[in-house]
Structure 1
Amino acid sequence: MEYEDKLVLAPMVRVGTLPFRLLAAEYGADITYGEEIIDHKLLKCERVINEYLCCTDFVEKGSSNVVFRTCAEERSQVVFQMGTSDAVRALSAAQIVCKDVAAIDINMGCPKSFSISGGMGAALLSKPELIHDILTTLKRNLDTPVTCKIRLLKSSQDTVELVRRIEKTGISALAVHGRRVPDRPRDPAKWNEIADVVAALSIPVIANGDVFEYGDFKCIKAATGALVHIV
C-alpha cells in the first residue's frame, strides 16, 4: 500500500459496501474502507466465489447472508476494517479474508456502546497492552499490511504516548479521528491534535474529521501535515 498524497474513503456502517466503494474509486478515492465487520461474525463465514456477479463473497455458513463482498477490481485498494478485542480471534478472522484485500485495519475508535461493551472500538484505547498484543500478532502472522484507527485521548500528550507505542508494533499506517470518545459529531474536530500525532510519528498518518467536500482536503493537509485524508 502506498499512502502518500492519497484520498481515502472512510469506513461507514451500512454504507461502505462494494457498490459504494467502487463508485467512490471511480470518483477519485485511492483507498477505500469497507464497513466494520466484527471478528465473531467473520469467523462464521466461508469464502465463496460468486460467478454470477464476478466477485468474492464471505457468506455466513448455513445461510445466504453475505457479510463481506469484494472483487478483483478493488483488490489493491480495499481495506478490511475489523472490530475485535482478542488477538488470537482477530488473527483467525483476518486469515479468512486477508488474501482478498489490500490491508487489515483494526477499529480502535468506535464510541458506540455496542463496541465498547464488547471491549472493542474505543474501549481498546485504555488498554495499550491489548492493543500491542493484537497488532503484533497480526503483523507477525500476516503478509497483508496492518493498520488501525483511533480517537484522541484526554490530552494531546496521552494521544502521542499511545501512538508511539502503536508505531512500535510495525503497522503500516495510523488513522486518527480528531475527536475524543465523549465528543459528538457536532463538536469540531481537533486538527491541531492530529498535527501533534503527525509530528511524533514516522509512519503515514490518516487524518479524519470535518472533511465534508473536496476543498477540505487541502485545509486538513495544511493544518495537520498528514499524508492521507479520510472523508
Structure 2
Amino acid sequence: MTVNTPLCFKGKKILAPMVRVGTLPMRLLALDYGADIVYCEELIDIKMLQCKRVINVLETVDFVAPNDRVVFRTCERERERVVFQMGSADAERALAVAKLVESDVAGIDINMGCPKEYSTKVEDTVNLVKRIEKTGIAAIAVHGRKKEERPQHPVHCDVIKAISEAVSIPVIANGGSHDFIKEYADIETFQKATAASSVMIARAAMWNPSVFRKEGFCPLKDVMQDYIKYAVRYDNHYTNTKYCLCQMLREQLETTQGKKLHAAQSTQEICEAFEMGDFYEETTAIFEAKKASLEIKVQDEDDQMEDPDVIKMAVRFDKREYPPQITPKMYLLEWCRKEKHPQPVYETVQRPLDRLFCSVVTVAEQKYRSTLWDKSKKLAEQAAAIVCLRTLGVAEGKLCEGENHLINKRKRGDQEPLISRDHGEDLAEPSHKKANFVEETSDMNVPKMPR
C-alpha cells in the first residue's frame, strides 16, 4: 500500500493528488462541483526550498523557482481547502517546506510508499500505520494497491478497511475510480466498503470533475468550458490544459473537436477549438490593460521613491566583460578599504509586477544605483557598484582596462586567498549588506474575469 499522512485535514470528499492534474484550475473546478478538499500535485521538498513566495497580478500566491518557473500556485479561495502534498525523506526539510507554505494552505501531506515487505503482508501494513499514528498526524490516506500494481488492478478494500478499524484517526480511502466510482452515489459505496471516514478521488474526478455534484453530472461540454475559463484566468500552461481536456474527452478524441484539441499548440488555439476564441481575446485584453496600468503605476512609484541625492546611470553588469572571479563589487570594496571608508552597503528590492531587482549602494554617505532593473539580486548589486566606480573615476576591473591587479594578487603565494594587508580580510568575501527584502504583496485589484 501507499500511504499519505496529512498533518492537518478536514472534509469528506477529496480531489486526489495527481501529477499534471492537481493544478489550480482543476482544483477550483472540483470545488465548484462540490469537493470539500483538494490536493495539489506532489512536490519535492528540495525543489520547494529553492522557491520564493510571490504575489502575482493574477491574485495568486506563487512559489517561484530560481529559473522563474512557478512550482506551486494557489489563491485565497482555496486557502482553507487545499492540502499541500510533499514528497520528502528528510524531517528537517519537510518541516522547512511546511513553514514556507503553512499560511497559504489548509494542510500538509507527506507522501510515502511503504517498503516492499509491507506491500505483501497486511498485518505488517497495519502495524506500520499504527506507528505512524503515534507521531501525531491528523489523518492517513491509503492508496489501496500494492507497490507493483497499477490502476487497472482491483483496489484492496479489505486492506483499507483493516487499517480503518485499526486506528483512531480518520482514514481516507483512495483507488476506487476503476472499480467503484462512476457517479456521485458511488462515493458512499466505496466509503462503506473500506470503512473509511473520507474518500479521495483522482481519475474519476479528472475524467469529469462534476462527479462531486449530488444532482448528477453536468454536460461534459459545460465542464470543459468551465475548466478552460479557469485555465485562461490563471495563466495555466497550455500543455497541462490540453492534457486535462484530453482526459475529459477520452473516447471522443477522434471527433472533429478532439482532433482540433490534439493539434492545438497554445492556449488561444485550445480556446478556438472549443469556440471560446472571443473569451480568450476578451480576457487577454483585460490582462494586457491591467499590466499596462501596473507598469505605469510602478513607474510612478519609482519616480516618487526617487531620492534626488542618488546618483544614477543606465548600466548593466555583463560578466563576459570581466575576468573570471573578478567583479565590480570587489573593486569597490578594495577602493573603500584603501580610502579608509566603511564597507559598501547594498539595499535591494524586487518589483512584484515583473520580479526584477534594483539595488542601491551607499559609499561614503553617497548613494548610487542603476536605472535599469535586473533579473537577479546579484546582477542588480553589481550594476550599482559599476555606477559608483564610474562616478568616482575608479577602475572597475573590465578586461578592456588592461592589467588587472586583483588577478595578480590572486596568483600571489601559490594562489593563497586574497588578503588585505591593512584589514586582514579576504577581498573575495561579499561586502556588508543591510537586510535585503523582497516585496511579496500588492494591494492592486484585478478586474473580475468574464465567466
> Structure 1 counterpart of 2:150, which letter?
R
Which structure would you say has the larger Rg? 2
Q: How far does the alpha carbon of each residue in 1:12-38 deviate from its partner, in whole angstroms, 9 at most, with x for none?
A: 101110111000000111000000000
Q: Distance in 2 between matches of 1:60 and 1:12?
A: 21
Structure 1 residues not aligned, in runs of 5+: 109-121, 128-151
Would you say 1:44 and 2:50 are equivalent positions?
yes
Q: Secondary structure at the residue paired with 1:180?
A: coil
Q: Distance in 2 between matches of 1:79 and 1:178?
A: 20
Q: Secondary structure at the residue paired with 2:102?
A: helix
Give the corresponding residue for 2:115.
Answer: 126
Structure 2 residues not aligned, in runs of 5+: 1-7, 202-451
Following TM superposition, by how much is the alpha carbon of 1:2 offset from its aligned partner in structure 2, in angstroms? Answer: 6.0
Would you say 1:205 and 2:194 are equivalent positions?
no
Following TM superposition, by how much is the alpha carbon of 1:195 offset from its aligned partner in structure 2, in angstroms? Answer: 0.4
Aligned length: 189
> Structure 2 counterpart of 1:186, which letter?
Q
User: Is the Cα contact below 8 Å between 1:9 and 1:33 reproduced in 2?
Assistant: yes
Q: TM-score, normalised by structure 2?
A: 0.41
Would you say 1:90 and 2:94 are equivalent positions?
yes
User: Is the Cα contact below 8 Å between 1:178 and 1:189 reproduced in 2?
Assistant: yes
Give the corresponding residue for 2:139.
Answer: 173
Q: Distance in 2 between matches of 1:183 and 1:2?
A: 27
> Structure 2 counterpart of 1:103, which letter?
G
Q: Secondary structure at the residue paired with 1:179?
A: coil
> Structure 2 counterpart of 1:218, which letter?
E
Would you say 1:227 and 2:197 are equivalent positions?
yes
Q: Distance in 2 between matches of 1:93 and 1:2?
A: 17
Within-5 A mapping of 1:3-14 = 3=10, 6-14=12-20
Give the corresponding residue for 1:216.
Answer: 186
Give the corresponding residue for 1:190.
Answer: 156
Q: Distance in 1 between matches of 2:77 and 2:70?
A: 19
Give the corresponding residue for 1:18.
Answer: 24
Residue identity over aligned pairs, in percent, reads 54
Q: Distance in 1 between matches of 2:45 and 2:191?
A: 33
> Structure 2 counterpart of 1:92, which letter?
A
Q: Distance in 1 between matches of 2:9 and 2:61?
A: 24
Equivalent of residue 34 in structure 1, options 13, 21, 40? 40
User: Is the Cα contact below 8 Å between 1:3 and 1:228 reproduced in 2?
Assistant: no
Equivalent of residue 81 in structure 1, options 65, 80, 85? 85
Q: TM-score, normalised by structure 1?
A: 0.78
Q: Distance in 2 between matches of 1:99 and 1:3?
A: 16
Q: Distance in 1 between matches of 2:91 and 2:115?
A: 16
Q: How far does the alpha carbon of each residue in 1:104-162 deviate from its partner, in whole angstroms, 9 at most, with x for none?
A: 10111xxxxxxxxxxxxx2xx239xxxxxxxxxxxxxxxxxxxxxxxx73121111101
Q: How far does the alpha carbon of each residue in 1:36-79 deviate from its partner, in whole angstroms, 9 at most, with x for none?
A: 000111011000011x2111000012x32100000110011100
User: When you count helix as a share of all residues, which structure comes out higher?
Assistant: 2
User: When you count strand as a share of all residues, which structure comes out higher?
Assistant: 1
Q: Secondary structure at the residue paired with 2:58?
A: coil
Deviates more, 1:22-31 or 1:153-162: 153-162
> Structure 1 counterpart of 2:99, which letter?
Q
Q: Distance in 2 between matches of 1:190 and 1:226?
A: 13
> Structure 2 counterpart of 1:217, which letter?
I
> Structure 1 counterpart of 2:45, which letter?
D
